[in-house]
């Protein structure tokens, strides 16, 4: 039987020299008998010891399944790499190209026929240069030699390639078995966005700095953005502003600069109303040096608060000047009115005397007047009447100043006729 045969073989092996036994050994991967069970893999090893033959079989089903699983994983991984946007190339331990995905082929304009020959790393680099997909360099051989060292690098190497208007991020990852995995990420759009964002930042900064108002943006309880005018108004240090201080710290630093330090709390209140309650509010503050500013807080769509400070110092100065001028004019008007009223009373007394003497002369109390004397006395009486009417009008105006006007409907035609009759004698004389 089998056991006795194996025993005889072992006995013969002990008796015969090892070299003779090894020369007669035979090993094969084919099963000695049909496999037991469907799907089972066997490995057969036989050793011939004349006149006895012994053999044994090993189940390698697990090994075959592991190999199949590894192959399926590699196929799935390469299928996935074909779907990513970054270019991927893998080189083996012999530095030949063993895999590259579709983005890599499009990125470097490589045809499948040329890639089928599994070109070496140096040939791939030279082909990239021919397609003008490499950055410009003065010493290409030295540059290529430096990239060849990626295979033996202790860790991954990352570079940025600027190829014309294209920006590539290159990552070289050495593999444990001596190969190399290259990743090419096209970051042109990202660079363009960064450039546009930088330009927008510069435009925004220039725009804010050109404003006459002091502008500040508060978000998340801190000062986020400010313009040059804001820094100049408050005379804050650059280091203090660059630290994006909290609102409480800003209010504390602003208090000593105001005539009323407690008034600085209004800044925090305005920011809270704009950021949390989404309400627009305003206030006024006065600096210790006499400057006046109007504050206004506006809620922004992103949840932040925009605070503007408008310098109203000149406006307040003009208002004070106008107020002082108005008060001076009112005082002068009162003096003028009092003077005119006093002069009117002073004129009425001698005018009354003149009228009385003229009436006496015209009435013949001092004797009969000649025709010319009578005419003169009549002219004096007419002038006295006119001057008295004017003095009465002046007194009426001075007494009515400061009192509300008596507004009522009047007959314009009657007033016009009265004015015409009043000046008719003068018109006739002229």
Decide if 331 is inside a domain: yes
Question: Each residue of 68-79: pLDDT tens digit?
Answer: 776 776 667 666
Span 265-280, mean pLDDT?
Answer: 92
149 shares its domain with 244: no
Q: What is the pLDDT of residue 224?
A: 92
Question: If pLDDT is split at 50, 70 and 90, which confidence band does 50 have?
Answer: low
Report how far residue 389's alpha carbon sits from residue 398's, in angstroms, rounded to the nearest whole number: 14
Question: If pLDDT is split at 50, 70 and 90, which confidence band does 25 have?
Answer: very low
Q: Which of 18-22, 69-73, 159-163 has the lowest mean pLDDT?
A: 18-22
Q: Which residues have a Cβ under 8 Å from the Cβ of 306 and sit 6 or more positions away? A: 215, 216, 217, 274, 297, 298, 299, 300
Instruction: Give strand pairing partners of 168.
Output: 161, 186
210 shares its domain with 187: no
CB contact at 8 A, 88 and 181: yes
pLDDT value at 272 more than 60: yes
Residue 303 backbone zone (phi > 0: left; psi -120 to 50: alpha; other: beta): left
Decide if 423 is inside a domain: no
Torsion, Cα 221 225 231 237, to 10 degrees, reads 70
**The three-state (H, E, C) secondary structure of 103-170, written as one string:** HHHHHCCCCHHHHCCCCEHHHHHHHHHHCCCCCCCCCHHHHHHHHHHHHHCCCCEEEEEEECCEEEEE
Q: Which of 60-64, 97-101, 138-142, 192-196 has the lowest mean pLDDT?
A: 60-64
Question: If pLDDT is split at 50, 70 and 90, which confidence band does 427 have?
Answer: confident
pLDDT value at 172 more than 80: yes
Q: What is the pLDDT of residue 401?
A: 61
Decide if 330 is inside a domain: yes
245 shares its domain with 148: no
Q: What is the pLDDT of residue 37?
A: 46
Q: Which pTM was predicted?
A: 0.50
The two structure tokens encoding residue 119? 């070109």
In CATH, what number is assigned to the domain containing residue 252?
3.30.450.20
- Which of 313, 332, 358 corresponds to the end of one domain? 313
Q: Identify the residue with better confidence: 173 or 62.
A: 173
- Which of 175, 191, 207 corresponds to the end of one domain? 191
Report how far residue 169's alpha carbon sits from residue 86's, in angstroms, rounded to the nearest whole number: 9
- Which of 313, 334, 349 corresponds to the end of one domain? 313
Q: What is the pLDDT of residue 18?
A: 44
Question: Each residue of 361-392: pLDDT tens digit?
Answer: 877 777 777 888 888 888 888 888 888 888 88
340 shares its domain with 294: no
Task: Give the total number of structural domains in the chain.
Answer: 3
Q: Which of 12-16, 28-32, 269-273 has the highest mean pLDDT?
A: 269-273
Count of beta carbons in the 10 Å neighbourhood of residue 77:
12
How many angstroms separate the Cα of 287 from the Cα of each of 34, 110, 237, 309? 103, 71, 18, 12
Percent of the chain with pLDDT over 90: 40
Domain extent for 171: 70-191
């Amino acid at each position: 039987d089998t056991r006795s045969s194996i025993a005889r073989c072992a006995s013969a092996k002990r008796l015969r020299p090892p070299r003779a036994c090894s020369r007669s050994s035979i090993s094969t991967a084919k099963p000695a008998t049909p496999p037991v069970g469907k799907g089972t893999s066997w490995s057969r090893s036989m050793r011939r010891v004349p006149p006895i033959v012994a053999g044994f079989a090993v189940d390698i089903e697990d090994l075959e399944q592991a190999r199949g699983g590894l192959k399926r994983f590699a196929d799935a991984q390469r299928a996935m790499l074909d779907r990513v946007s970054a270019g991927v190339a893998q080189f083996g331990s012999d530095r030949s190209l063993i895999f590259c995905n579709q983005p890599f082929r499009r990125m470097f304009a490589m045809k499948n026929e040329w890639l089928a020959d599994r070109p070496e790393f140096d040939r791939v680099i030279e082909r990239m240069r021919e397609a003008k997909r490499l950055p410009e360099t003065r010493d290409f051989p030295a540059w290529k030699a430096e990239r060849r060292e990626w295979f033996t690098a202790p860790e991954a190497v990352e570079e940025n390639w600027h190829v014309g208007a294209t920006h590539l991020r290159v990552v070289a990852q050495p593999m444990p078995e001596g190969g190399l995995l290259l990743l090419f990420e096209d970051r042109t759009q990202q660079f363009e966005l960064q450039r546009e964002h930088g330009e927008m930042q510069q435009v925004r900064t220039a725009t804010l700095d050109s404003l006459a108002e002091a502008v500040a943006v508060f978000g998340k309880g801190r000062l986020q953005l400010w313009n040059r005018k804001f820094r100049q108004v408050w005379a804050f240090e650059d280091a203090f502003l660059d630290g994006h201080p909290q609102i409480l710290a800003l209010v504390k630093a602003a208090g000593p600069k105001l005539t009323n330090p407690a008034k600085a709390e209004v800044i925090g209140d305005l920011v809270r109303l704009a950021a949390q309650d989404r309400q627009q509010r305003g206030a006024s503050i006065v600096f210790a040096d006499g400057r006046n500013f109007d504050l206004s807080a506006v809620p922004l769509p992103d949840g932040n608060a925009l605070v503007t400070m408008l310098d109203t110092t000149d406006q307040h100065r003009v208002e004070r000047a106008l107020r002082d001028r108005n008060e001076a004019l009112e005082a002068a008007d009162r003096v003028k009115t009092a003077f005119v009223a006093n002069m009117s009373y002073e004129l009425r007394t001698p005018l009354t005397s003149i009228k009385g003497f003229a009436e006496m002369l015209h009435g013949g109390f001092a004797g009969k007047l000649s025709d010319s004397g009578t005419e003169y006395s009549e002219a004096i009486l007419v002038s006295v009447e006119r001057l008295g009417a004017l003095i009465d009008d002046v007194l009426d105006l001075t007494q009515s100043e400061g009192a509300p006007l008596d507004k009522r409907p009047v007959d314009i035609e009657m007033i016009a006729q009265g004015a015409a009759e009043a000046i008719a004698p003068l018109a006739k004389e002229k």
